[in-house]
Amino acid sequence: MMCQNGDMARTRGRAPAGGRADALSQEIVVGTAVELLDEHGERGLTFRLLAQRLNTGPGALYWHVANKDELIALAADHVLGEALADAPRPEGGVAGLRALAVTVFDALDRHPWAAFRVTAPATLEHTLSLLDRIGVLVTQTGLPAERHFAVATAIFNYITGVSAQIISPAVTVDPSVHRDVFLAETAAHWSRLDPAAYPFLPHVTEALRDHDDRDQFTTGLDLLLTGLTATTRPPQR
């Protein structure tokens, strides 16, 4: 599964110099897939539907994409590419890490299906690019070189993994039920739990109902980054 694109730069999908006017390309196929995924979610994307929108047959798509897994992986990478293009460059160090993380979260929040499909260790273009940019910023923090990989990967995993968790209700749950309704129902469920078995949850139903996803993301992120600076500059007695 999953691309295994390997070495040989595949010419596939690159429209030949003097191709026809209505020529497909991997870029077009993936771009249209992103539209469809935004509209109907992962389950709603079918090769038939995609082919229909591109005025072709399902078979033609397989010239540009190996299978549905690769298509979705490429679509998710495409989303990440847009996010990175928008990401601010100026800041360095921990502030830059925070800004980059939030930018990526926002992008995944706009394309909920993508969050689950960005995976480590990276092999796709923009996923690699994200990890590399995190690595560069980590390098700037003055951490010893032997920790660069572990810390950069930890931050990458936090961004993609936690984003996926926070966004998951939008994907897992029936999309027809809105966020507020879902949270209200879940809060009601928590409030009905037996306090002997669940001493904590009944106390935080209000916080569940009112919380903001982005704040939830930055709460953990800031803990992580605080821990990072605390490690970088050991506690000044």
Partner DNA sequence: ATCTATATGGAATGTCGTTCCATAACAATA
Partner DNA sequence: TATTGTTATGGAACGACATTCCATATAGAT
Residues that bind DNA (CB under 7 A): 11-12, 14-24, 45-48, 54-60, 62-64, 67-69
How many residues bind a second copy, per CB under 8 A? 73
By a kind-dependent CB cut-off of 5 to 8 A, residue 15 interacts, out of DNA, a second copy, none, with DNA
**Residue 40 or 147 with smaller CB distance to DNA:** 40
Q: Is 113 in the site for a second copy (CB under 8 A)?
A: no
Tell me the closest approach of the beta carbon of residue 36 to DNA, in angstroms: 10
Tell me the closest approach of the beta carbon of residue 212 to a second copy, in angstroms: 10
**Residue 56 or 119 with smaller CB distance to a second copy:** 119
If we measure between CA atoms, which residue out of 84, 98, 166 comes closest to residue 132? 84
Those residues with Cβ within 8 angstroms of residue 113's Cβ, 6 or more apart along the chain or in another chain: 37, 38, 41, 42, 72, 76, 171
The binder of a second copy chosen from 38, 54, 60, 148 (CB under 8 A)? 148
- Four-residue CA torsion sign, 165, 92, 138, 94: negative
CB atoms within 10 A of CB 66: 17
**Token code pair at residue 90:** 């100026």
Helical pair 93-110 and 163-172, crossing angle rounded to 10 deg: 10
The binder of a second copy chosen from 15, 23, 85, 150 (CB under 8 A)? 150
Buried-exposed string 131-168: b where 16+ CB fall within 10 A, e elsewhere: bebbbebbeebebeeeeeeebbbbbbebbbebbbebbe
Cis check for the bond before 121: say yes or no (omega within 30 of 0).
yes
By a kind-dependent CB cut-off of 5 to 8 A, residue 57 interacts, out of DNA, a second copy, none, with DNA
By a kind-dependent CB cut-off of 5 to 8 A, residue 18 interacts, out of a second copy, DNA, none, with DNA
The binder of a second copy chosen from 30, 131, 184, 234 (CB under 8 A)? 131
**Residue 9 or 21 with smaller CB distance to a second copy:** 9
**Residue 52 or 226 with smaller CB distance to a second copy:** 226
Residues 18-77 close enough to bind a second copy by CB under 8 A: 69
